[in-house]
Amino acid sequence: MEENRTDRDHAFLSVAQVAEHLNVSKMTIYRLVHTGQLPCVRIGHTYRVAEDAMTRYLEEGTVQADAQ
């Protein structure tokens, strides 16, 4: 089955997958989730982060380097 853009927009990642993508610990992701900085959904006892939510988090945290 071919993946289209609509399916990708609704992809959910586990905390471990998000941590791997961002090269941080799972505890860092849990902290971001619990403080509300990284939106997620809870399914049973696990958290899932929408791929586009992770992308938005990165875009909002992007800073411009000062031109010297």
pLDDT of residue 61: 86
pLDDT of residue 7: 52
Q: DSSP letters along 18-67, please?
A: HHHHHTS-HHHHHHHHHTTSS--EEETTEEEEEHHHHHHHHHHT--PPPP
pLDDT of residue 6: 54
pLDDT of residue 17: 97
Q: For 30-47, what is each residue's pLDDT tens digit?
A: 999 999 999 999 999 999
Segments of the chain scoring below 50 in pLDDT: 1-2
- Tokens for 8, please give them: 């990708």
pLDDT of residue 1: 44
pLDDT of residue 65: 75
CA separation for the pair 22, 42 (Å, rounded): 20
